[in-house]
Amino acid sequence: MSNESNTMEKIVALCKRRGFIFQSSEIYGGIGGFWDYGPLGVELKRNIKDAWWREMVTGHDDTSVPLGAPSAFDMVGLESTIIMHPQVWKASGHLDLFYDLFVDCKTCKARFRADQVESSECPRRPSKRPGAHDECELTEPREFNTMFKTYVGALLDPTAEVYLRPETAQGMFVNFKNVLSTSRVKVPFGIAQIGKSFRNEITPRNFTFRSREFEQMEMEFFCPPESSEAWYAYWRDRRVEWYVSLGLKSEKLHLREHGPNERAHYSCGTADIEYAYPFLPKGQFGELEGISHRGDFDLRSHIEGKLIRNGDELVVERDEDGQARHAGSGKDLSYFDDATGRKVVPHVIEPAGGIGRTALALLCEAYDEDAIPDEKGVPQERIVLRLHPRIAPVKAAVFPLVKKDGQPEVAARMYRDLKKRWNVFYDEKGSIGKRYRRQDESGTPFCITVDHQTLEDETVTLRDRDTTRQTRVRIADLESTLAEKLQS
Ligand code: GAP
């Protein structure tokens, strides 16, 4: 990892140059907090999502007890809608509580998150903290609900108001009974979902880190109350291992357990998996994923109505007539526990991560600069993305050394063969050095080059991105060699 202080600027520039990430609607000046993923970015995200889905759903073996788990368990997937019945967000508490506090400057007309005033900059020059200029006039902090509102149907009146979901989680809670009664799963089991979420962040910033439209990967794990603490510990530790398996190692990744005062009112335990993104001051970490022990809060909310804390208990919030302020569905979301012969509302453990933040952390971890000798042996600076082969957008690039002597035909044939299995790239333009450099910047782990010797002995060179070492491999062994190196 490069030590230079402007690493983040270089990563943003690389993401644009190589087609990972573009500003949304850029030709119209862009729109804050929205990002488009280009040809390489979309592959990177797809690989992260595939890795997560395999880890959580398709790779899960429900017949054995995973290492460290209290018991065997079931796991299924779900895709729920972005727009849901508005009562979902009233009962869940989002309508009342999903807000940020903001501060306006009446002079500059700029808006800041109240908790970020100290680290923000006033638009006036010279740049200072908001409120630091004599002319600045900051308002008191005010509430701002960060759910995007829209309308369903032709009438634009309050009865037609709905929200873009700010998290995928609620789709899994309201489908708990559907899944339980149709999939032959038994508690303990998890429901996993990947999908878009939307938050009207007051100050989207730090590239894609705080976006207004982003993708989440969330899993709601329904378990008996008695074993919920053990399940919380299991998922917390397992999720850290997953990030390590994708290449986030070193002192930049850590797990931070929240103190009792930091937790949400419903949480019985929360830990954040955090990464030291280069845009943060030294020693600071940003959230990648949160793992929460949510107790029975969510299912009870959707049964009874919006809950509030009363001492040690969560109770239904009532209006002056004694009615639930925001009614739940009234449906029975309990399960029958064979062990105790009782009906129980399960507790929930939730690992909730972001695809964009994972992609950003992986790009930051992978970014490196080194010097390698050119064709004449002179050291040349290079930028290289040392992405884990499992998540690299392109797995291998195939080149003919020269555009003649039958080399392009052999290379194209090899490209077509490998393409059946992996995302492979073909390039015959420019010097071989430049072609290697382009792939290094794209994070492509291997380059395969057809040269004069290929036509004599049916071997090619296989170049390793990280070491730049080249070995000769028989064409007949190429696929199996690559499969071993790519672990796929
Ligand atoms: N259901 C719980 C939940 O949504 P969260 O901590 O608010 O919890 C989970 O969000 C994850 O979603 C975060 O750890 C982060 O990776 C991602 N995320 C949240 N807000 C985001 C934003 N504005 N931009 C990008 N990712 C975000």
Residue 279 has pLDDT above 90, yes or no: yes
| Nearest of 253, 251, 257, 233 to residue 243 by alpha carbon | 253
C-alpha distances in Å from residue 223, one per residue of 73, 322, 346, 444 = 9, 32, 5, 42
- For residue 423, the CA-to-ligand 1 centroid distance in Å is 30
Residue 4 has pLDDT above 50, yes or no: no
pLDDT at 163: 98
pLDDT at 64: 97
The atom of ligand 1 lying closest to the CA of 352 is: 9
Residue keyed to tokens 């109240």:
114
Q: Which of 200, 287, 360 to mutate to test the pocket of ligand 1 (most atoms within 8 A of CB)?
A: 287
CB distance 287 to ligand 1 below 6 Å:
yes
Higher-confidence residue of 421 and 488: namely 421
> pLDDT-derived band of residue 5, with 50, 70 and 90 as boundaries?
low
Q: What is the pLDDT of residues 98-130, one digit of tens each?
A: 888 889 888 888 888 888 888 888 887 877 888
H or E element, residue 151: strand 149-151
pLDDT at 2: 44
Q: What is the pLDDT of residues 334-366, one digit of tens each?
A: 999 988 899 999 999 999 999 999 999 999 999
pLDDT at 332: 96
pLDDT at 122: 83
**Letter string b/e over residues 123-135, b meaning 16 or more CB atoms within 10 A of that residue's CB:** ebeeeeebeebee
Higher-confidence residue of 451 and 6: namely 451
Residue 412 has pLDDT above 60, yes or no: yes
Q: What is the pLDDT of residues 27-77, one digit of tens each?
A: 999 999 999 999 999 999 999 999 999 999 999 999 999 999 999 999 999
pLDDT at 488: 73
- For residue 369, the CA-to-ligand 1 centroid distance in Å is 31
> Percent of the chain scored above 90 by pLDDT?
81
Cα separation, 294 vs 265, whole angstroms = 9
> pLDDT-derived band of residue 264, with 50, 70 and 90 as boundaries?
confident
> pLDDT-derived band of residue 487, with 50, 70 and 90 as boundaries?
confident
Helix (H, G, I), strand (E, B) or coil at 371: strand
Residue 46, judged by CB atoms within 10 A of its CB (0-12, 13-18, 19+), counts as: middle
Q: Using a cut of 0.75, tell me whether the model's pTM lies above it.
A: yes
pLDDT at 56: 98
Higher-confidence residue of 478 and 121: namely 478
Q: Which of 214, 215, 218, 239 to mutate to test the pocket of ligand 1 (most atoms within 8 A of CB)?
A: 214
> pLDDT-derived band of residue 143, with 50, 70 and 90 as boundaries?
confident
- For residue 125, the CA-to-ligand 1 centroid distance in Å is 33
H-assigned helices in 161-277: 169-174, 176-182, 228-245
The atom of ligand 1 lying closest to the CA of 201 is: 23
C-alpha distances in Å from residue 270, one per residue of 154, 304, 402, 420 = 42, 24, 57, 43
Q: Which of 288, 357, 360, 362 to mutate to test the pocket of ligand 1 (most atoms within 8 A of CB)?
A: 357
CB distance 239 to ligand 1 below 6 Å:
no
pLDDT at 113: 85
- For residue 293, the CA-to-ligand 1 centroid distance in Å is 16
pLDDT at 1: 42
CB distance 170 to ligand 1 below 6 Å:
no
CB distance 113 to ligand 1 below 6 Å:
no
The residue whose CA has the least distance to atom 14 of ligand 1 is 289
CB distance 210 to ligand 1 below 6 Å:
yes
What letter does residue 345 receive in the DSSP assignment?
Answer: P
- For residue 432, the CA-to-ligand 1 centroid distance in Å is 42
The atom of ligand 1 lying closest to the CA of 214 is: 25
CB 111 within 8 A of CB 103: yes
pLDDT at 382: 95
The atom of ligand 1 lying closest to the CA of 199 is: 23
Q: Which of 35, 82, 94, 167 to mutate to test the pocket of ligand 1 (most atoms within 8 A of CB)?
A: 167
Cα separation, 204 vs 206, whole angstroms = 7
H-assigned helices in 379-477: 407-419, 432-442, 452-457
CB distance 216 to ligand 1 below 6 Å:
yes
Residue 248 has pLDDT above 60, yes or no: yes
Mean pLDDT of the chain: 94
Q: What is the pLDDT of residues 380-401, one digit of tens each?
A: 999 999 999 999 999 999 999 9
